[in-house]
Structure 1
């Protein structure tokens, strides 16, 4: 073999070895890249979480692989750079999160047997779920060679107030039973039963209010001879059900009367409803709507304890419509004689103080004036911070108030209205709020008696609400209840009872009253602007 042939064979061998090396290196690289290729997997259906509870939004890598060294990003659509959660460099980067998710978002487990990041589980966990958390979430995972993305929709559900039942006998063997409940999401299923069969309602209405929360109102006719009780149930899903019952045997029979008088008796029975029908109502849950009427010894309240949460409320002039006059110190309000409230409008004003989670507050409103008498028409209560302007005032959706009319009845704004007798009509009205427990109580301060307590679910800021009515000679005066706190400056008994007007307010009060003395003889025929 000649030297040239030997040299050529060596060159070919080296060339072959070089290509074998290149192919081997490429194979190793390809194998490594292939091992890091993955997709993000999520549930087909939306996931649900209860308001205030924990939401688990699953996402995992397919095929399963260790994700501890990868980047995991959860974000809302169009907010890639402002994520709900960002995990990179083996830790959560809180500085990059949206502020409302800091401390609430973390990496969780989609099931108890999950290995977490080691097993490719990149599930998002949210605590203290809010209504604004509802919506789409994007799961994004990336490595040096690949990335994957998938979307999950979160539904936030809300269990509303326990059903409030009322009943009135319509004839000798027929009872009209009404059922009302508020604050559900999504719309619940309402069902009537007498323990033996499902009853078909005569009417069933749903309405949506603030934050998209749903209210339900229904009524049914039943007979005490066929069943001793009737129940109203509202159901979101299995295990999320509230039920109320009313004992039909305790509904008093109507006397024999003419049809006209009989109708009047039915109406009167409805007006006095709350004093007799709630004895037989039983709830499955402790979050009941407590309704107690005035005039019973057990209705006496520990007002001194409530007053330890006393606050000084002032009127927010910016929220006042042109139909109201507000004093310079923002403590007195009444309707305007020069610019009366037109039909269909609502002349209310809010307080400047906002109440949120953790709030315990007590405030008082004076509803009379010496030598003038007690106001006949007014609203006092709370309004949601989401309320915009002087528009419609839907029952319980963003508004929680007690009102008075000239027919001598107090009304609680629910659907339908809850009517209470107004004897005696309150001269000073006290309000006690426990925000987190959802409790708002109305107290007749002079009588030291509870008028009514409602159980509601407050979301976001709520503000004191006032409407002085139309045509009353007496104005509405907001008293300073912060005096009652332990350790504060003592005030006289007469001041605490509202019989003395602070000097700064006296002149304005006299002027506001005097401006309406001339029309006092007309007020009995004028309709309230409520």
Structure 2
């Protein structure tokens, strides 16, 4: 009896001394067809995983894994479709890899077939753990092509076609950008690549309608839209219907050709790779740049941003110049989830045009911040309590870093991103008129992602420094370069291999709130 009791104690001691838990992000991962994605997974508490068995597999294919690591190397046992496409990687720039218990999986050249459930399984000599996550695959199709055709009763039948979508997009018809039109019908066809081609049509009267638009969108918020001026179409056809139809077809063909050329070479115009080279980090158009981003071109749209003291959260501290913000040392955070309520808002409002600013997320010789949230918010939405309320429909657009839980954007449902490394300096470009919010890694001169939406009313910059980081969040002074008399047509991307010297000085980093030359102030009536 005594020997049994001793054996139980020994087994209990062994299990408790080497036990670990497998951890994955709480949200699903979203990536584009053709891109590279990281599926984060690590063991807690952190320990060296080089001697452990690591197995990534799909559904119930335990014996036919996506990747199998054993005896300190990746084994040849592998599902054939993932050969030369899968590898172990670090989930973030702060990770130490396998030595830090990071067993994340990297997948390249994503296809629609990669969508679904992935299991992360880690096993030691006396314990094991397993967690699963969902990978969602998306593909943003081509710009819709509109084709109007006159009917005998004087009305016009408009067809709308687009291809290259996954999953099936929603189709929306609008009249004069206000009234929602009911489609006459929608047909969808799935190709051998499992992506969708969509055809929709509607009938309108030129007496009631001037501008008709057809848009196709995914649940992530990505969309494509095309418009046609009905009055111009009807007027041109009043004298000679056949002539009008000929010119309409000619114009549509030219527009379609221009759209195809722009779509094919959009990576040279906007700094985003074509669909087969995308690295989707979530929601919205998230493409890696073909070359380096031309930071100086972005800075032509620079604005001087400061923090609005009136709507600052009371548990935040800022400097007198309203440029540096961090969490108060007295703030009692429970440690459960990101502190969304700790928001600071820009003192500048935007209702049109392009606006650019930069934020420093690291001090010299200090790792980048692990926790931050940066973007824009509709003016007046100054209350942020939990994640479910911070969505584009509620007026919030942002990129968030939540430590080991990864990066994600303001979408519903949540979209977790896969960034190669945490940026030390983040550039933000708001294009109000085109409905785009873009983020850039300024130090690496790389485009991170672009969110597509429709802004209404005035919007202001949004900042949240998170809690527990050594570095504060610093809004940088970013003077505009000298403007030439004629607006520059220089692209936002350059392919030069020479690094570009930045003329903007980084503000002197602060060791702590007390050592800053601009003293951090509590948000109180005395400030």
Larger radius of gyration: 1
Both proteins in one fold, TM over 0.5 = no
Q: Determine which structure has the larger helix proportion and give its number.
A: 1
Q: TM-score, normalised by structure 2?
A: 0.43
Q: TM-score, normalised by structure 1?
A: 0.43
